[in-house]
A and B are shown apart, each in its own frame.
Chain A
Amino acid sequence: MQPLLEITNLHAGIEGRDILKGINLTVNPGEVHAIMGPNGSGKSTLASVLAGREDYSVSEGSVVFKGRDLLDLAPEERAGEGLFLAFQYPVEIPGVSTANFIKASVNAVRAYRGQDALEPAAFLALMRERMALVDMAPTFLSRALNEGFSGGEKKRAEVFQMAMLEPSLAVLDETDSGLDIDALRIVASGVNALRSPDRSFVVITHYQRLLSHIVPDVVHVLHNGVIVRSGGKELALELEERGYDWIRAEQGSEV
């Protein structure tokens, strides 16, 4: 089986500062990977580099997505190829309604894939259906995207967008942070509803909580720009219990 995503020895940084220092990660179709790790370890940087944020420069290594060199593609091409990033901090877009934004996004991705734009009626029906997945009220459609949304509402809107774009690989960067207990369950069940044998997830989180809803196949620990440990879902429980000090200690002793 060809991996969906294959990251090999990825080094990346910003303004001359190295942040990712040799990431290796293989995600196969249908798998769920969790990435945990202390603040500042480089989790969001990895997500940004995958999504194609220009501020970061890749100095070494490769990323192959569906057999293509991902790093060679513009961010919008990556989205077209089926990569989705749910942002840790979704950006407010004043003046662009959620509905128009989603329409522009879905149709851009469809155009990239050589598909026709959706008919307005079919589109509206699809939006309503996918909003229901994360229990979002239709009133959000007419509001400017993310503007004035609460922290939890922004996270739901990200999952709604993911549901609309039907990616092959979704990277969820702390989509659980800022969610109350009910919202966490709703978002998790929204994600689970989208799980399929040909769709994979990379779930970045600090908490085991989310992983008891979205059960990962593999858990990785990112520390200081490298994946220092990978294991089964038990690893998340162990981290929850013991924190990161023992990982740090291990790392320290290895140096």
Chain B
Amino acid sequence: MSTDNFNDYVSSSFERLERRLNGHVNGPLHNLRRRALRQFIDVGIPTRRMEDWKYTSVINVINDAQFSSEKGAPAPAPAALPNEDVYHIVITPEGLDSAPFEADGLTVEVLTDELVIADERVRSTIGAILPIDTTPFVAMNTALHTTGVVIRITGNVTKPIHLDLIAHDASPDPLPSPRILVLASEHASATIVETVRSNPAAVLLPVCEIECQANAHLHWTRVLDDANNRHISAMAANVYGNGSVTVTTCIVDAAFVRNDVVIRLLEPGAQGFLFGVSVLDGQQFADNHTVVDHVMPHCHSEELYKGVYDDGSTGVFNGKIFVRQDAQKTTAYQSNRSLLLSPNAQVNAKPQLEIWADDVKCSHGATTGALDADAIFYLQARGIPKAEARRLLTMAFAMEVLERVPVESLRQSLERRMEQRLSR
């Protein structure tokens, strides 16, 4: 499909969507959708000529999505959270699979025009934390999302919240675009685990906006562990005084991933943590694009992305850190480490620090290398066969990120999945 054809496809999808929305064509959400559509049509699908997409060709990925009306196979149950007592929120292209509910400091609602009209906080955040000009896919999601969910965290939510994104289910939509808005009130806290059930015909395009008010703490773990998964996502969090947001991205298996994550530290004491681990082989591809924006003084950010690349797989990391003029006493640390297990694997890493304040502590580092031959020999000399030595060292490399996954059972299942991966 050419770029022009694709624009036509997006426009006609939008018209179909509009026809279903009897009555609401002038609601605030709908107006936002219209602006987003225009934005998308103006810019189009990103090409490699654009700086932020230099290493990442999306047109082929979009082309591989099957624009047919065949229904996908039923989704398998997610493997990542076995037997864990969770709040299970199932998001399909048709909508919220579970009824809206309220429990234990947690409210889940469907995003509608009525809600946007009635609720000042939703109105001021939706499309504002991730404006439509952020990336073409944010514009596309904003225009076309069929399922929007607003998750309010008002207290200390003790059970993990499991966001179960289903890319196909019984839907023919080749580009499911779930829209998620998380509003954490002051002093609230929650652990969110996002998983994806995909199929080879779909490209999932989720957009998540997060507002984390003062003293609230959110820990978001994104798990991509399906070899079929093609995923282009955007997430941004606005963090206020002494609040913190941690985003941990675990790519255990996926065909194609592009993740954009933005954390803005908007009041003193706000903290942002970004962790990621990717384990790829074959021709798999994962691109992590991150932005940490230090706007106010006395904020802290930490970032660690690790990648293990085998066969002909490719990793991309782009980490921007902005320290604005007012953001004195900032501490910001970024590190990106890649392990290349094969001579054909490759990684493109680019840290970008832009610092306008003078009293700050910032550092960044990127390393790319193979497994340490001395370490392999040391393990072998202790009786450990070479293949196992390699696996042990690779797991140790990945564990530095995995061990930060806050849900014990999830951490263990991810560990097992990774071990399986590395043995295949």
Contacts and interface: CB of A to CB of B under 8 A. Distances in A.
Interface stretch (B13-21, B181-189, B313-321, B395-403): B395-403
A75 B388 contact: no
Given A93-B393, A94-B396, A96-B392, A108 B385 contact: yes
B96 to A, nearest CB: 40
A74 B382 contact: no
B386 to A, nearest CB: 7
Contacts of A90: 378
Given A96-B396, A104-B382, 19 more contacts: A52-B381, A76-B383, A76-B386, A79-B382, A91-B372, A91-B375, A91-B377, A93-B378, A93-B396, A95-B396, A95-B399, A96-B392, A104-B379, A104-B384, A104-B392, A105-B383, A108-B384, A112-B383, A144-B396
Contact of A95 (B379, B381, B400): B400
A165 interface: yes
A85 interface: yes
A109 interface: yes
23 contacts: A51-B377, A51-B381, A52-B381, A74-B380, A75-B377, A75-B380, A76-B384, A76-B389, A87-B378, A87-B381, A93-B393, A95-B393, A95-B397, A95-B400, A96-B392, A96-B396, A101-B382, A104-B384, A105-B383, A108-B385, A109-B382, A112-B383, A144-B396
B393 A105 contact: no
B383 A165 contact: yes
B313 to A, nearest CB: 21
A53 interface: yes
Interface in A95-124: 95-96, 101, 104-106, 108-109, 112
Nearest to A82: B383
Interface in A36-54: 51-54
Contacts of B374: 91
B386 A74 contact: yes
A202 to B, nearest CB: 15
A80 interface: yes
A91 B378 contact: yes
Contacts, number: 76
Nearest to B374: A91
A105 B83 CA distance: 33
Contacts of A106: 383
Nearest to A110: B383
Of B382, B388, B389, B392, which is in contact with the most chain A CB atoms at under 10 Å from its CB? B382
B378 A161 contact: no
B274 to A, nearest CB: 20
Of B375, B381, B395, which is in contact with the most chain A CB atoms at under 10 Å from its CB? B381
A105 B392 CA distance: 11
Contacts of A78: 381
Interface of B: 372, 374-375, 377-386, 388-389, 392-393, 395-397, 399-400
Given A94-B396, A95-B396, A96-B393, A79 B386 contact: no
Interface in A198-237: none
Contacts of B392: 96, 104
A108 B388 contact: yes
A51 B210 CA distance: 56
Nearest to B389: A76
Contact of B379 (A52, A84, A93): A93
Contacts of A165: 382-383
Q: B interface, by DSSP: helix, strand, loop or mixed? A: helix
A104 B396 CA distance: 13
A79 B380 contact: yes
Interface of A: 51-54, 74-76, 78-80, 84-85, 87, 90-96, 101, 104-106, 108-109, 112, 144, 161, 165
Of A54, A75, A79, A94, which is in contact with the most chain B CB atoms at under 10 Å from its CB? A75
A93 B395 CA distance: 12
Contacts of A96: 392-393, 396
Nearest to B403: A95
A144 B392 CA distance: 13
A94 to B, nearest CB: 7
Contacts of B395: 95
A93 B375 contact: yes
Of B379, B389, B397, B399, which is in contact with the most chain A CB atoms at under 10 Å from its CB? B379
A21 to B, nearest CB: 24
Contact of B383 (A53, A79, A94, A95): A79
A54 B328 CA distance: 53
A91 B399 CA distance: 19
B379 A85 contact: no
A160 to B, nearest CB: 12
Contacts of B388: 104, 108
B202 to A, nearest CB: 36
Contacts of A79: 380-383
A85 B383 CA distance: 11
A18 to B, nearest CB: 22
Contacts of A54: 377
Nearest to A79: B383
Given A91-B372, A91-B375, A95-B397, A105 B384 contact: yes
A96 B378 CA distance: 13
Of A53, A95, A109, A144, which is in contact with the most chain B CB atoms at under 10 Å from its CB? A95
Of A52, A87, A91, A109, which is in contact with the most chain B CB atoms at under 10 Å from its CB? A91
B335 to A, nearest CB: 13
Nearest to A145: B378
Contact of B381 (A85, A92, A112): A85
A59 B399 CA distance: 41
Nearest to B398: A95
Contacts of B389: 76
Given A95-B396, A96-B393, A108-B385, A52 B375 contact: no
B392 to A, nearest CB: 6
Nearest to A102: B382
A230 to B, nearest CB: 27
Nearest to A48: B377
